Structure 1
């Protein structure tokens, strides 16, 4: 039972990180390295309509522990079901994918714009038009 709960917590952490990782990468850019592959993997599993491996593992561990397996997926069981929402309904699907896509586009957009706005590293070549003028000369 403990392992099934641990997998459920890991699954929840993966979903939460998939939703917020791009926003966190604005502050900590190195988070892109684990976030991008995770987000793409979750997207691929969902678009393919495949069963999530973490859900399959949790269900197998629940059955091994003598607990009842649940119908549907992880989000349906732990999030949408308790809210009375049908995960297969078009509105729920639109909200789910829209939220995930929106947060990731926003996060990566902010991260890219922040990266572009950074000053050049010390010692980097500067374009002639932005180079400071020598004392006593005027800018063209």
Structure 2
């Protein structure tokens, strides 16, 4: 059971990384937007409503079933901010987490919008052959 709890924690870390970088990855592979947009909306909804992430709930339940201690709070606080000395409950930490989550996504989606507005060159015509 403990191995399963650890696997869920690794999955959770992957989901967090994808949440942070998904729009930037979509610059190379636009099909990833079909996965990133729903993930981002769910994470945003959980954050705005103060709800617990289902992956955290699942991890903690597996740890409890294995007889291992759980932890208070959420995944980000337990594994990232608290060990770095930034208590997740502090307003400055909350603002920092929000900025770190939003900035790469704004950059990625902004670049995707700019790219979509750029005129496309016809694949059979290059500047050298169109003369």
Q: Same fold (TM over 0.5)?
A: yes
Aligned partners of 1:96, 1:9: CA distance in 2, in Å?
19
Alignment of 1:14-33 (within 5 A): 14-33=15-34
**Aligned residue number for residue 46 of structure 2:** 45
**Aligned residue number for residue 94 of structure 1:** 95
Offset of 1:66 from its aligned partner? 1.0
**Aligned residue number for residue 11 of structure 2:** 10
- Find the residue that maps to 2:31 and give its secondary structure: helix
Q: How many residues align?
A: 125
**Aligned residue number for residue 56 of structure 1:** 57
Q: TM-score of the superposition, structure 2-length normalised?
A: 0.89
**Aligned residue number for residue 132 of structure 1:** none
CA deviations on 1:41-68 (whole Å, 9 max, x unpaired) are 0010011001111100000000101110
Offset of 1:118 from its aligned partner? 4.7
Aligned partners of 2:74, 2:87: CA distance in 1, in Å?
11
Alignment of 1:50-129 (within 5 A): 50-119=51-120
Aligned partners of 1:61, 1:121: CA distance in 2, in Å?
55
- Find the residue that maps to 1:26 and give its secondary structure: coil
Aligned partners of 2:122, 2:60: CA distance in 1, in Å?
51
Larger radius of gyration: 1
**Aligned residue number for residue 127 of structure 1:** none
- Find the residue that maps to 1:27 and give its secondary structure: coil
**Aligned residue number for residue 35 of structure 1:** 36
CA deviations on 1:56-98 (whole Å, 9 max, x unpaired) are 0000000101110101100111001110111111111111111
Q: TM-score of the superposition, structure 1-length normalised?
A: 0.84
Offset of 1:10 from its aligned partner? 0.6
